[in-house]
Amino acid sequence: MAQNLVVKTRPLRRLTRAELKNYLEKAANILRGNVDHSEFRGYVFALLFYKRISDVYLEEVRFLTAKLGDPELARDPRMHNFVVPDQCLWEDPDDASKSVARKASGQLGAALNEAMTAIELANQPKFDGILQTIDFQDRSRLPQAKLVSLVNHFGTQPLGRHDVSDDLFGDAYEYLIRDFASKAGKSSGEFYTPREVGSLLSEMIEPQQGHEVCDWASGSGSLLLQCRRYVQKHRGDPNQLFLFAQESNLTTYNISRINLILHGVRSWQPRHGDSLREPLHVDEQDQIKQFDRIVMNPPFSLEDWGYNDFQSEDTKEFSDPYGRMGFGTPPRDNGDYAWLQHVAKSLKPNGKAIIVMSQGVLFRGQPEQTEEEDGQNQKADVEYLIREGFIRQDLIECVIVLPSKLFYGNSVPGCLIVLNKSKSAERKDKILMIWASRHFQKANPQNLLRPSDLMRILVPWRAFGDLPQAQQLVGEQEYQLVTELEEDRTKRLQEIEDAYNPVLQPLPALREEKVVLEVDYKTWAENPITEHPYFGTLVPLLAEIAQLEQEIPKLTKDAKKNQQENLKLKKAEHREALKEIREQIRQQLKRVKESIKDLEKLGVDKQKEIDEVNNHYDREVAQVQEAAADLLRICNDPEEAKRYFTVVERPEIEENEFNLNLPRYVDTFVPEEQITVQNSLTNLDTARKARQEAEEKLQQLLKGIGYGC
């Protein structure tokens, strides 16, 4: 039986995924309306990183102190992956006045700047420049009140590993990046690639343990993280996947470094700079390094891509010292083919790449025209010649047209281009074309690709358009996807259990204690037991009273008077003790009821999160099963399959003047719904009857309130 439980209302506990996302969203919302999204993301990301590493470092120090019994040794930098100097702690557990987050509002900006500089110096070269790009004293960009609110908000939740696991925190950080990207305007498309698209890209190029993988326009680093997840999912060691990144925007570059550090990535080499103007991943001969895999989402149709930087002032001729523009020099005001040729140059002889591009690369540019053929003389456009070069060199393996509004800051539908320098024999001089723009989830501000939509792309890709093989793959892909979804469901549900259960554990005992506390004295006195946590203390006194009451009738007159006085005193003692106990019970019962109410509310929150997770995965599993059935239907009908994908051989592409616009090869026409005259007349008659009924009801209502009489 419960014995006077010490009741704690809402103790701190691990955050669930949903709660952590909500916590980070609130941090972002504090600044909205005062600073441009593309600017203030740096403040949030830097502060969040600072709070995380400070809490993790202190957590490690406490653990090592307890284990080693030596506080100084526990702070030795050699014992940690990173350190936070004592004077730079977000919250100093020994002296609150030394806590950076507790500084007076007028000193907070300077204290943050000094702390972040010191943290970088203490963790060279890993943290070089990662925190100093933001000036917390610049009140023209970040008002002081907003900074204080932001710091106070982050201070409400401990962010050590005990509170939030590395995987969960890294995923939530990515979610925050996505949240900023969705609100940051046009430039955000260069900043973040939706996670679902990144997953698709990694599934298509299949990075393997031991590979070197590069993203020359790395943004937040999300595509490289997806490549790590792919290796891990396929039972490889993600730390044996060697990542290379280059990003031109300094703030974004540092956000990507924070992102990969928080995900525990060590095997990577980030670089800050413009990849087209000055590629920084080079070999010993100062030529562009070549990679096993390249995955990229460069800015669409970049106008200022560096053409003038490679143009001789004297001859005005274009000369690239890295020899990338072998198929032709792209137009001065559009860098799409500069990126594609850059990628082709930096692939190993057996390398593969997948790039998100504007669809214009598929068809821009005209072939040469002559008087005899077209009645006019015109040289071939350079983009036509570059595309022709890619096709003749048999570099393009697949082209996929995606739905519109997938990419932040850009509503036009993009495409994926798969480059392969070493195609298998059966794929030589062939290009698989997939029209994937029909299936997606409409959302605001961006549309989404669901697991079922990815399956519609991956099945024809892995079968390379072969219908019998695609039919066989449908079942395999359905099983694999459903298995992955169920594994994710189990993981999410376990996260919820881990977060709530330690806090909810006292609830059964509290309910039991409530039952005991609600037993009134009269009921207990009918069968007094010492086990009752309060009334039980009265048992010895009640026994004395009972004994006196039994003895008194047997005593002489004088002895009886004496014992009656003792009995009177004992009963008075009993009344006082009972009064005190009832007050204790009243107070404890109040506390227990409050705690039960609070924990039951927490239990409702837990169940709500569980229901949301189950509903989400039930929906996604149903979508996968529905898509699998539809894919089987499509793959069983060659004519229907041509509406979604087809394999095109080079002679056909040459006949189409090297134009890769998919509607030339895939039947993208969407037939209009057939409407019969009879159905139209029936609908019209139904509408007339409904209108007549509505008018009659209106007249009745008007008549009822005195109108129309």
Question: Could you tell me the residue range of the domain that residue 585 belongs to?
Answer: 497-635
CB 215 within 8 A of CB 279: no
SS3 category, 199: helix
* DSSP-assigned letters across all residues of 587-628: HHHHHHHHHHHHHHHHHHHHHHHHHHHHHHHHHHHHHHHHHH
User: What are the two backbone dihedrals, phi and then psi, of residue 685, each rounded to the nearest 5 degrees?
Assistant: -65, -40
The larger pLDDT score, comparing residue 176 to residue 450, is at: 450
Q: How confident is the model at residue 170 (pLDDT cuts 50, 70, 90)?
A: confident
Compute the average pLDDT of residues 602-622.
95
- In a domain? residue 451: no
Average pLDDT, the chain: 88
- In a domain? residue 218: no
Share of the chain above pLDDT 70, in %: 93
50 and 167 co-located in one domain: yes
pLDDT at 6: 47
Min mean pLDDT across 25-34, 173-182, 282-291 is at 25-34
678 and 631 co-located in one domain: no
Q: How confident is the model at residue 9 (pLDDT cuts 50, 70, 90)?
A: very low
Share of the chain above pLDDT 90, in %: 61
pLDDT at 387: 96
Query: How far is it, in rounded angstroms, from Cα 546 to Cα 532?
Result: 19
* Per-residue pLDDT reduced to its tens digit, 672-697: 556 667 777 777 788 788 788 777 77
Q: How confident is the model at residue 701 (pLDDT cuts 50, 70, 90)?
A: confident
Q: End-to-end CA distance of the chain: give it in Å, rounded.
A: 76
The larger pLDDT score, comparing residue 272 to residue 18, is at: 272
Compute the average pLDDT of residues 591-614.
94
CB 534 within 8 A of CB 584: yes
Q: Tell me the C-alpha to C-alpha distance, in Å, between residue 297 and each of 162, 222, 416.
A: 35, 10, 9
* Per-residue pLDDT reduced to its tens digit, 348-388: 999 999 999 999 999 998 888 765 655 566 788 999 999 99
pLDDT at 377: 63
534 and 589 co-located in one domain: yes
Q: pTM (2 decimals)?
A: 0.83
Last residue of some domain: 169, 184, 199?
184
CB count, 10 Å around CB of 439? 18
538 and 624 co-located in one domain: yes
Tell me how many domains the chain contains.
3
Q: Quick one: DSSP state of residue 405?
A: S
65 and 146 co-located in one domain: yes
pLDDT at 702: 72
- In a domain? residue 256: no
174 and 26 co-located in one domain: yes
pLDDT at 188: 47
Compute the average pLDDT of residues 64-77.
92
pLDDT at 5: 53
Last residue of some domain: 585, 607, 635?
635
Min mean pLDDT across 51-65, 306-320, 492-506 is at 306-320
Q: How confident is the model at residue 8 (pLDDT cuts 50, 70, 90)?
A: very low
pLDDT at 28: 79
Amino acid type, 520: D
- In a domain? residue 42: yes
> CA torsion 43→49→55→61, rounded to 10°?
-130
- pLDDT at residue 228 tops 80: yes
- pLDDT at residue 35 tops 60: no
Burial of 134 (0-12, 13-18, 19+ CB in 10 A): buried
563 and 703 co-located in one domain: no
- In a domain? residue 79: yes
The larger pLDDT score, comparing residue 371 to residue 210, is at: 210
What's the farthest any 2 CA atoms get from each other in the chain?
A: 146
591 and 691 co-located in one domain: no
Compute the average pLDDT of residues 118-126.
90
* Per-residue pLDDT reduced to its tens digit, 183-198: 665 444 456 788 899 9
CB 33 within 8 A of CB 243: no
629 and 678 co-located in one domain: no
pLDDT at 375: 55
CATH number assigned to the domain comprising residue 35: 1.20.1260.30
- In a domain? residue 63: yes
- In a domain? residue 388: no
583 and 696 co-located in one domain: no
CB count, 10 Å around CB of 315? 8
Min mean pLDDT across 459-468, 618-627, 697-706 is at 697-706
* Per-residue pLDDT reduced to its tens digit, 458-479: 999 999 999 999 999 999 999 9
pLDDT at 4: 54
Last residue of some domain: 184, 205, 238?
184
Compute the average pLDDT of residues 244-271.
90
- In a domain? residue 154: yes
Question: Which residue, among 169, 275, 179, 178, has the nearest Cα to 220 in the 3D structure?
Answer: 178
| Tokens matching residue 485 | 């979804």
The larger pLDDT score, comparing residue 553 to residue 470, is at: 470
pLDDT at 42: 79
31 and 126 co-located in one domain: yes
| Tokens matching residue 496 | 């919820």
Query: How far is it, in rounded angstroms, from Cα 507 to Cα 32?
Result: 40
Peptide bond into 85 cis (omega under 30): no
- pLDDT at residue 708 tops 70: no
Query: How far is it, in rounded angstroms, from Cα 551 to Cα 141?
Result: 89
- Report the range out of 349-363, 527-541, 545-559 with the highest average pLDDT: 349-363
- pLDDT at residue 273 tops 90: yes
Amino acid type, 655: E
pLDDT at 385: 95
24 and 155 co-located in one domain: yes
Could you tell me where the DSSP H helices lie in 82-187? 105-122, 144-154, 166-181
CB count, 10 Å around CB of 339? 24
- pLDDT at residue 34 tops 60: no
CB 330 within 8 A of CB 383: yes
* Per-residue pLDDT reduced to its tens digit, 660-673: 999 999 998 766 55
| Tokens matching residue 270 | 């980030």
